[in-house]
Structures are given as C-alpha cells and as structure tokens.
A = this chain, B = another copy of it.
Amino acid sequence: MIRIVILGTGNIGSHLVAAFENVSAIEVVQVYNRSEAGLKELRFRGSKTTQLDQLADADCYIIAVPDDVVAQISDNLPFENRFVVHTSGSVSLNELNSKNRKGVFYPLQTFSKNRKVYFNDIPLCLEATNQKDLELLKTMARTISSAVFEIDSEKRKHLHLAAVFVCNFVNHLYHIGHEITENHQLPFSILIPLIKETASKIERDAPMAMQTGPAKRNDTSTMKKHLDLLDIPIQKELYKLLSQAISESYGREKL
C-alpha cells in the first residue's frame, strides 16, 4: 500500500484525490488545503487539515497548488528526507526545497473543477532525483493512467509551453468563434463538427500538412473581407498575426 498526502484542492488536486481514491494499491491518507472552504467542497472522507504542522506520515506528498506558491509550501513543510513532488508543468524540480527528496508528477491535461476527468488517457510526466523515488512515482502513475512518461524539467518546460498553444490559446480561438456566432444569431454548435475534425486530423498527419484556409491559399481578398467584419481591435490584430504566421511558416518550410 502506497500512502500519499495531497496538498491543494484546486482543479488538479481535487481530480487527483478522486482518481487515487478509487485505487486499492494507494491510500490517500490526508488532504491539506490552506483554507477550510477548499476542504469543505472536497468529496473525501479521510483526514483533512489546514495546518502544515499536522501533516500525516506518507510515502509521497503531492503539492498541487498554484505555480507561484509551490516553492513556498515546500519550504514550509515541517519535515525532512521525505518524498515531495509537485504537479506543475512550468515549475522546475529544483524549485522544491532540498531538505526533502524531490519529484514531479505532472498530468498533461486541462482540468476544470466540475468536469469529470478520465485519467487513463492522460499523459503523466514524471521526474525524480533518485531512481527509487522515480520507481515509486511510476507505480503510482500506472494505477491511474496507461500513458506514463519520464520527462526532465528542461523538456517539461517546453512541453508546458506547447500545451499553452494547443490548449489555452486554442480555447481562446474557440471563444472568438463562440462570440462571432452568438453575435449573429448562429448556433455555436454548428462549429462543433469542424472543431472535432480539426482536432482529429492531426492524429494521423502533421498539422502543417493539414492546414487549409485563406491564409494558406494567400487569398488576400477573403482576408480583407474578414478583417472588415471584425469590430474588436485585438481580434483584428489576432487575425492579421495568425494569418501572417501561417504564411511565414509555409515560407520558412520552403527555404
């Protein structure tokens, strides 16, 4: 039985609690959150605490808090020589305090609190300073996912950057599509098959080969018409810059 403590009940922490709670080989012995409110919302029948000095003994402490407080929480842990990991894509392993053994357990997914998550497909990107701890992380990871990767901090930061482009920025483009359709009495749902096909195409072929649209065709007349339709200045800027980026990327490839 692997005993773990999860620190933080935000999007990632709460989903990890739910996932590990279903695994017989793992016991979530305690959940920490700095506020009572965060603990109250959480569906978890085990021990809960808002006090770092009351943390239970465990084989692994998973810090799932906002990136900018990971270091602080790890500094404030009242023990040494235990195994402490964080779950952040953009925080280096070395930002954890060296008084404990360090590791990373980064689930590469977008989490929203009220949306059910199926961990089985989610890539879990692992790192640890020693081999024994890495093996423990792998064992833990494999109980909830079949996509387990060993990825060091240097690679992980690039992976996280790529994730921002293909998830966070993509979602904002969905938002613009949503805004345009709503503003013109069109159902946003009419765009869903297109969105899904766009996301499916790149499973088999490189995105570069799947590019379509006016910028790809260098169809300046359509691009001008589109710019005229956009009212919000930053959306115009985005249209221009994204079109230019598409053109440039084809130019670059041709060299």
Listed in ascending order, the chain A residues whose CB lies under 8 Å from chain B are 11, 66-68, 90, 108-112, 115, 121-123, 125, 147, 149, 151, 155, 157-178, 180-181, 183-186, 188-199, 201-217, 219, 221-222, 225-226, 229-230, 234-235, 237-239, 241-242, 244-246, 248-249
With a 10 A CB-CB cut-off, give which of A121, A195, A203 has the most chain B CB atoms. Answer: A195
Q: How many copies does the complex hold?
A: 2
A155 touches B184 (CB 8 A): yes
Q: Which residues of B contact A238 (CB under 8 A)?
A: 169, 241-242, 245
B109 touches A197 (CB 8 A): yes
With a 10 A CB-CB cut-off, give which of A160, A201, A213, A249 has the most chain B CB atoms. Answer: A213
B155 touches A166 (CB 8 A): no
Q: What are 26 pairs between A and B in contact, CB < 8 Å?
A: A67-B219, A108-B194, A110-B201, A110-B210, A110-B213, A111-B212, A112-B212, A147-B193, A155-B184, A155-B186, A158-B186, A164-B226, A165-B173, A165-B239, A166-B194, A167-B195, A168-B216, A171-B210, A171-B211, A172-B211, A172-B245, A175-B208, A175-B249, A189-B203, A234-B244, A238-B245
A190-B159, A203-B192 as given contacts; A164 in contact with B214, CB under 8 Å? yes
Closest B residue to A217 by beta carbon equals B66
Q: Which residues of B contact A177 (CB under 8 A)?
A: 162-163, 165-166, 207
Inter-chain CA distance A203–B193, complex, in Å, is: 10
Closest B residue to A88 by beta carbon equals B222
B206 touches A181 (CB 8 A): no
Inter-chain CA distance A192–B204, complex, in Å, is: 11
Q: Which residues of B contact A245 (CB under 8 A)?
A: 172, 234-235, 238
Inter-chain CA distance A190–B155, complex, in Å, is: 13
Inter-chain CA distance A170–B168, complex, in Å, is: 11
A109-B193, A111-B212 as given contacts; A226 in contact with B166, CB under 8 Å? no
Q: Which residues of B contact A219 (CB under 8 A)?
A: 66-68
